[in-house]
Amino acid sequence: MSVPHEEEGRVIPISAAPSFAEPEPMARLLAFVRRRVTGDYEVDEFGYDPELTDKVVLELIRPLYNHWFRVEPVELKNIPDDSGALIVANHSGTLPMDALMLQVALHDEAGRALRLLGADLVYQLPFLSHLARKTGHTLACPEDADRLLRKGELVGVFPEGFKGVGKPFSERYKLQRFGRGGFVASAIRAGVPIVPTAIVGAEEIYPKIGDLKTVARLLGLPYLPITPFFPLLGPLGLVPLPSKWMIEFGEPIRTDEYDPSAADDPMLVFNITDHVREVIQQLLNELRLRRGHAFPPFL
Amino acid sequence: MTHTVLVTGVSRHIGARVASALAADPDISRVIGVDTVPPPSLTRDGDSSLGRTEFVRVDLRSPDIAQVIAAADIDTVVHMSLVSAPSRSGGRAAMKEHNVIGTMQLLGACQRSATVRRVVVRSTTAVYGSSPRDPAVFTEDLEPHDGPVHGYAKDAAEVEGYVRGFARRRPDVTVSLLRFANFMGPGVDSPLTRYFTQPVLPSVFGFDPRLQFIHEDDAVEVLRRMATEHHPGTFNVAGAGVLLLSQCARRAGRPSLPLPSSAFRVLGGAVRRVGLVEYSPEQVRLLCHGRAVDTARLEAELGWKPKFSTAAAFDDFLRSHDLRPLGGARP
């Protein structure tokens, strides 16, 4: 903001001078509460509420990120500072804890809001659907993906979907089939790079050794896992095992050399999808070796 | 070139404002307003808020409208006469007849007319429905997953169908179809504004929808420009940004009361009988899933943006109703 010229020589009394010191924590808290109570905050057209996300939701997850899973992000330099990109990651862990940890890593360590494209099941549930919107995520559909990428947002997808997050423990670190490659088409249309991402550690939090298929079908869920502690220990079985996590962001794969109309070429889209999948699998294998034991220093 | 403009639905707030805005335009020689009931300004104190608009009382459902168009050599028709909620006396059947049959009669008359050059139709973003399976932001070309199946939104979708048919049959006529977000402002009286003036705002348990408003001043300006300039096509009209329902309630300083969605069915019938607020199924769906639209096409076409964002329009409405957030005044 520019200061009008006639004010340049004016003497500002000390008491009226703006304070450049950080406001008191108490004052900050009160200002936060005032903004929330009076509705004086902004949400974007997708319903993303950055303040609620940063100050409340992520604040609740941060202890898990820092102390429980000790998440270690690698190669953050591959995340663009302010332009659009598509993060494509492996999905695992029975409950999508990896999505939350990826969000914290990008928010806190790369200063970027992650806008995930979620399964439609999420958006049909009360609470969860609106919590997902408030924390910046939206329904996985080409229109929303294109719109976010055009706005220069950092969009995240888990192309394995439920096949990945709900796979048995014996299949750990084996990428499942990627969908139809809609994410690749969106990246080509927007001309943004695809950042292949490997998340190591989520596989061990709830080792799924069985599936209550009939009950799951009755409840309308994609699966209902049996882990060594769930449902055996009841709610206690919901505590995730404290595995050591690492998240590596791979070398971006450029898509701007293709014409946006190439998004309609199924062969090209399939080829790029396969390539992205291979890169992620390779990253996963290397990162898993690099991490070593899942539960250091013992196992 | 001189214009003679016909405005339907002038007895309601926005219609009257559009008519008076057009009447203030020196390029327009005559403004003829029609409606089924006389405008309140004429009945009450003879105040000339309509300017030099000539009022003709016509029931749109009857073929009389054709005579009005033929007799006055109308060249521009602004069709504002869509009722968003059933009246207490007429009920839903009368509302549907008014909206759908009225539009058919009007478009039929326009199709016969040799003088009509431009037709502007007010529609609503409700035609997109509210569904968790649709994209977060609707563009004009998007086909919704769950189209409207009842109420006002279904009427509007049918009206749009007739308008498209008319545009095909009379390609020489400029047809502008405007999908407005919910009107908001000091003078607006709609199911949604009545909702926000209740002492307690019932909301659907577990849902916090995105809402979008268009300020009445901006709506009038869009309609004025559509009626006087050449802008064929379908356009979304909404203020920039969205507000969440919880945010609206906080800004209004009203407590919200989360109820399971089934309670609305019971409650809806109960309050309708007392004549308070309407909870139609489509409104309950809006209170669940919300809706936001993209207005880039309108802004590019007009080279203009609504002056009020969604939030500013809502704040203006709150100011005029003397609603303010808990423990403070909004500047």
Q: Flag whether pLDDT at A127 surpasses 80.
A: yes
Of B132, B206, B328, the CB nearest to A38: B328
Task: Identify the residue whose tokens are 């690698």.
Answer: A74
Q: Is B247 on the interface with A (CB under 8 A)?
A: yes
Q: A288: burial class by Cβ within 10 Å (0-12, 13-18, 19+)?
A: middle
Across the range B196-216, mean pLDDT stands at: 92
Please give the pLDDT value at position B329.
55
Q: For residues B183 and B190, is the Cβ–Cβ distance under 8 A?
A: yes
Q: Is B200 on the interface with A (CB under 8 A)?
A: no
Please give the pLDDT value at position A4.
46
Q: Using CA atoms, how far apart are residues B207 and B246, in angstroms rounded to an integer?
A: 9
Domain ranges of chain A: 48-205+244-291, 207-239
User: What's the gap in Å between the CA of A35 and the closest CA on chain B?
Assistant: 10
Residues in A lying within 8 Å of B, measured between beta carbons:
34, 36-47, 49, 120, 123-127, 129-130, 133-134, 138-139, 141, 143-144, 147
Confidence of residue B85 (pLDDT cuts 50, 70, 90): confident
Q: Domain A48-205+244-291 is in which class?
A: alpha beta
Across the range B149-177, mean pLDDT stands at: 92
Domains in chain B (CATH in brackets) are: 3-184+214-238 (3.40.50.720)
Confidence of residue B276 (pLDDT cuts 50, 70, 90): low
- Residue pLDDT, tens place only, B128-158: 988 888 999 999 998 877 778 778 888 999 9
Of A39, A120, A144, the CB nearest to B325: A39
Task: Identify the residue whose tokens are 């007895």.
Answer: B11
Q: Flag whether pLDDT at A285 surpasses 80.
A: yes
Confidence of residue A256 (pLDDT cuts 50, 70, 90): very high
CB distance A47–B330 less than 8 Å? no
If one counts every other C-beta atom within 10 angstroms of the C-beta of residue B14, the result is: 21
Please give the pLDDT value at position A24.
82
Q: Most A CBs within 10 Å: which of B141, B244, B254, as the mutation test of the A interface?
A: B244
Q: For residues B124 and B138, is the Cβ–Cβ distance under 8 A?
A: no
- Residue pLDDT, tens place only, B37-79: 888 755 444 444 677 888 989 888 888 899 999 888 899 999 9
Tokens for A231? 């449902």
Report pTM. Answer: 0.88
Please give the pLDDT value at position B32.
93
Q: Flag whether pLDDT at A35 surpasses 70.
A: yes
Q: Flag whether pLDDT at B331 surpasses 60.
A: no
CB < 8 Å to B206, chain A: 125-127, 130
Task: Identify the residue whose tokens are 């006529």.
Answer: B173
Of B136, B206, B327, the CB nearest to A46: B136
* Range with the poorest average pLDDT among A225-234, A247-256, B125-134, B266-275: B266-275
Q: Residue A234: left if φ>0, alpha if ψ -120 to 50, beta else—which one?
A: left
Q: Using CA atoms, how far apart are residues B96 and B151, in angstroms rounded to an integer?
A: 8
Please give the pLDDT value at position B45.
44
Please give the pLDDT value at position A6.
47
CB distance B325–A37 less than 8 Å? yes
Q: Using CA atoms, how far apart are residues B54 and B31, in angstroms rounded to an integer?
A: 6
Q: Is B132 on the interface with A (CB under 8 A)?
A: yes
